[in-house]
Amino acid sequence: MHSEIAPPPPPVTTDVAATRWLAVGSLLGLIVLSLAWELWLSPLRPGGSWLALKALPLAVPLAGLLKRRMYTYRWVSLLVWLYFTEGVVRAWSDPAPGNWLAGAEIALCLLLFTACALHVRLRLRAARARPSTPSTPAADPT
């Protein structure tokens, strides 16, 4: 009687680990920037604004990035373009220091997108390079 044992997960290469930490770091940077920008540094209204809630959708994918869920890396690379667009609009229209903060948001968005895209690409390449294991055990001739 044969029992199937799932193969161990592939070892994490340094490139994949680096893109993971770059994605997590830039996501955390966007969260901190969003909160600080809208609550203290340059809020739309004195005393802070409800626009700080824009940090909440960024907190959702954090666990998925930390757990290396490929699906999360893929959809975060799409979500980040909303924040990039906000950064471009506010860099163009906000007075200082808001326009500088928008520039930082743009940089963090580009970093997050690049990290997610590279992470997915490197993991897919590593998966293709691994020899495939048979899904059904070979018949025992005895």
What are the two backbone dihedrals, phi and then psi, of residue 28, each rounded to the nearest 5 degrees? -60, -40
pTM: 0.82
Which of 40, 120, 32, 106 minimizes the C-alpha distance to 75? 120
What whole-number distance in Å separates Cα of residue 136 and Cα of residue 26?
A: 42
Q: Running DSSP on this structure, what letter comes out for residue 57?
A: H
Binning pLDDT at 50, 70 and 90, where does residue 7 land? low
User: Can you tell me which residue has the tokens 């691994």?
Assistant: 130
Assess whether pLDDT exceeds 90 at residue 118: yes
pLDDT (tens digit, 9 = 90+) per residue, 33-92? 999 999 999 998 888 889 899 999 999 999 999 999 999 999 999 999 999 999 999 999
DSSP letters for 70-117: HHHHHHHHHHHHHHHHHHHHHHHHSPTTHHHHHHHHHHHHHHHHHHHH
Residue 141 has a pLDDT of 46
